[in-house]
A and B are shown apart, each in its own frame.
Chain A
């Protein structure tokens, strides 16, 4: 993957876009790009004694995928991230550990009240591996083929065994949903996912209209690097809060991992039943839940029907604002994508949203059951949701608490996101419409949990430099 000459600084690749120079060879690739490989396995590891653990990290570093540009796509990638207990196990100095943000130190389970991970989503319903706070490492392999996946995982686990540094607690598989033999970006409720990740300065790819922030004259611009990477200026004109020392934090980021089980049977029967009552029909209703039709057509641009050409056009498929639709006549005010990224819906040209963006990297898991075939809620299927941001508190936690599980900023009172909200059977959502009887306002009540949380945690994804420091026990908090 990478050779040690590059780590030693002999040859550093850096990108200079928009004035922000970022060192892509130091940053883990998972943070900089969506690999779009169809197979993945997340090895959840518990660390052993510190010597073996450091030895393990020191060897794994050589296999890691960085953000460097690929001439040819590799068959598999490797990335690593740590929970706070994991960093403690590696015996980072106390002052360093204590300098990590509070929410990361506490871990996601302890933040349950804040995140509305209560009731059905509370940790008592989580898988044991997440309930017991033993996960120290997320070691992720993404691969183009199942064979490549197995080979890479076997290799990594062999190192774990040899060094005695880490023990496998659980291997969580994930993979794209295949339809007609081809990988898609669909998820289990049938929606095409994967649009609209934020653009930030220094990222490799070109800006896609609609993914950045709005400028005063209505154009799109990349967000500040510091919204997604530590050590760079963020949208508020300062360096984000970061652990000490600088070198440990720089080029690192934070990740949230949530295993979101999908109650496919409940969702499908809900959509059928409500679709019969809704004059526009089932697919239109489905589009109003999310803000995209199930083929990915954005409702704001095309409220009346799917538009495959629009979906396929990167310059258009996420290029829209809500400023002319503040009452939700086209895209309902509480639709899922509108909650996740309100753009200019709150006025002020979107400025209240610029510091609340998250970079999503999720992947589905479990066997896909096509529409019309029998399926049960208990069957294992859902999404491994992963999101990256410089500040869990300011970004992910905020969106989750204020915009997904609550609606005041969107003027929807306490109403939750219809698709992923923790409704507990008593949720409600209003889908705005027009005076056209084919497109009326529609109220969905007594909403159940279509999605249930089965576990997860907060992780720190360090740079290559930081990993060398961790592996050699040379983190110095001055």
Chain B
């Protein structure tokens, strides 16, 4: 999802400080991690004078607002995603978007969805290196790999009885991480 929102220039430094603080204290980072359907997300502030200008033939931008651009790579449907944001990340999201013009707040969810719809812009081309894997699948696979590497080291040198015990312990270690990958449900 991509969204761009206008900000009055005097508010921009406040947001920059907030991001710095959020980055340091990490409540938003851990909230995003715990939601665990977002691979990557980023916020980019463009000052009104900072739009790239590459030569005299290109007209100079003359803007009154700074702009906040948001990009995310997430699993799940758009509605689910916004519902979850509104339900459990509202404080953090409000802290980020309250500086944008006409932001209605992230609770209740219907006006929030209306605003996001308005400020969204569509992606023309999207590439995903592992389209059948959600970020949960990736994290699970990495845990499986760690466990597997550990177990594999001695697996062939144990006696069958020792192997049986070690294999069982290995299964217990990986048992929550064996979900199959595949295509995600259709958006609604």
Contact = CB atoms under 8 A, between A and B. Distances in A.
Q: Do A and B bind each other?
A: yes
A405 B185 contact: yes
A413 B176 contact: no
- Name which of B36, B80, B84, B175 has the most chain A CB atoms within 10 A of its CB: B175
A408 B107 CA distance: 25
Contacts, number: 107
Interface string A8-44: 0000000000000000000000000000000000000
A114 B186 contact: yes
Interface in A429-478: 430, 432-435, 437, 440-441, 443
Contact of A414 (B34, B87, B179): B179
Contacts of B75: 408
Interface string A227-238: 000000000111
Contacts of B171: 433, 440-441
Interface stretch (B53-61, B91-99, B134-142, B147-155): B134-142
A441 B179 contact: no
A397 B79 CA distance: 12
A343 B86 CA distance: 18
Contact of B136 (A354, A411, A430, A434): A411
Contacts of A327: 175-176
B180 A236 contact: no
Given A408-B134, A414-B180, A236 B109 contact: yes
B188 A352 contact: no
Given A236-B107, A408-B184, A413-B140, A435 B169 contact: yes
Interface in A387-424: 393-394, 397-398, 401-402, 405-409, 411-415
Given A238-B110, A348-B34, A413-B137, A406 B175 contact: no
Contacts of B76: 402, 408-409
B134 A437 contact: no
Tell me if A's interface is mostly helix, strand, loop or mixed. loop
B76 to A, nearest CB: 7
B175 A412 contact: no
A415 B180 contact: yes
A191 interface: no
A289 to B, nearest CB: 16
Contact of B86 (A236, A348, A433, A443): A236
B134 A413 contact: yes
B86 A435 contact: no
Contacts of A407: 179
Contacts of A355: 83, 87
Nearest to B135: A408
Given A114-B185, A401-B188, A434 B172 contact: yes
A21 B37 CA distance: 38
B14 interface: no
B88 to A, nearest CB: 5
B168 interface: yes
Contacts of A411: 36, 136, 140, 176-177, 179
B181 A394 contact: no
Tell me if B's interface is mostly helix, strand, loop or mixed. helix
A116 to B, nearest CB: 7
A435 B172 contact: yes
A401 B80 CA distance: 11
A199 B177 CA distance: 33
B175 A432 contact: yes
A372 to B, nearest CB: 33
A51 interface: no
Nearest to A234: B108
A175 B83 CA distance: 38
B172 A412 contact: no
A64 interface: no
- Name which of A116, A327, A408 has the most chain B CB atoms within 10 A of its CB: A408
Given A236-B87, A237-B107, A435-B169, A402 B185 contact: yes
B168 A333 contact: no
Contacts of B9: none
A449 to B, nearest CB: 17
Contacts of B37: 408-409
Contacts of B87: 236, 348, 351-352, 354-355
A113 B107 contact: no
Contacts of A354: 87
Interface string B49-71: 00000000000000000000000
A116 B182 CA distance: 14
A415 B179 contact: yes
Contact of B176 (A351, A402, A406, A432): A432
A406 B185 contact: yes
B176 A433 contact: no
A209 interface: no
Contacts of A398: 80
B44 interface: no
B1 to A, nearest CB: 17
Contacts of B172: 432-435, 440-441
Nearest to A437: B168
The 5 lowest CB-CB distance pairs between A and B, nearest first, are A413-B179, A414-B182, A238-B108, A441-B175, A412-B179
Given A237-B108, A401-B185, 13 more contacts: A333-B176, A355-B83, A393-B79, A393-B188, A402-B80, A406-B185, A407-B179, A411-B136, A413-B179, A413-B182, A414-B181, A433-B172, A443-B178
20 contacts: A103-B188, A114-B185, A237-B108, A238-B109, A241-B110, A328-B176, A348-B88, A355-B87, A393-B188, A397-B188, A401-B188, A408-B137, A409-B76, A411-B179, A413-B178, A415-B180, A432-B175, A440-B171, A441-B175, A443-B178
